Amino acid sequence: METRIRTRRTAGALVALAAAAGLAVPAGAQAAAPTLIPSRTTVHTDDTTPTAGVRFHLFGAVWSQGERVPATVRVKTFRQGHWQQLPGAVQQTNRNNRYRLHIALQMTGERMLKVIGDPRDPDIATSSTTITVTVH
């Protein structure tokens, strides 16, 4: 797979270089540029109704082509009409390519959290999923 990834990167770079230099690029060559491999992020929690200020856990993995992949995982919360990064809620997956984040939310009520998995491999797309918890 590593050879195939390098080949796609090289081919895409050559097409981009030729186009930037003003050289004629064959029809369809732009379409042949590499596309990102899809991924999906899973999330589970040990407490869907956490108490304000008390830690709970979000855990899961980032998957691509049926396998867990190494990634950076971030958690954002939806507040005031947009997604805001939760301070300190960033983690690299472990050696088993899983994550387990400790979260403590202060604001009570229903909170929507977005978990974003950004794979280390630049050829794999970033993915996200949401989970809702009710803080009391």
Which tens digit of pLDDT belongs to each residue from 25-66? Answer: 555 555 555 799 999 999 999 999 999 999 999 999 999 999
Same domain, 22 and 47: no
pLDDT digits 0-9 by tens, 81-127: 999 999 999 999 999 999 999 999 999 999 999 999 999 999 999 99
Clarify whether residues 68 and 86 are in a common domain: yes
Give dist(CA 100, CA 59) in Å, integer. Answer: 4
Give CA–CA dist 114/130, Å, rounded: 4
Q: What is the DSSP string of 6-40?
A: HHHHHHHHHHHHHHHTT----TTTTTTS--PBP-E
Q: Give residue 1's pLDDT.
A: 45
Residue 8, pLDDT > 80, answer no
For the chain, what is the domain count?
A: 2
Tell me the one-letter amino acid at 83: W
pLDDT at residue 79 is higher than 80? yes
CATH code of 76's domain: 2.60.40.150
Q: How high is the pLDDT of residue 9?
A: 46
Confidence class of residue 5 from pLDDT cuts 50, 70 and 90?
Answer: very low
Indicate whether 10 pLDDT > 50: no
DSSP 49-103: SPPTT--EEEEEEEEETTEE--EEEEEEEEETTEEEEEEEEEEE--TTSEEEEEE
Q: Which domain holds residue 60?
A: 40-135
Are 28 and 74 in a shared domain? no
CA distance 114 to 97: 19
This prediction's pTM: 0.74
pLDDT of residue 34: 76
Distance CA 20, CA 107 (A): 50
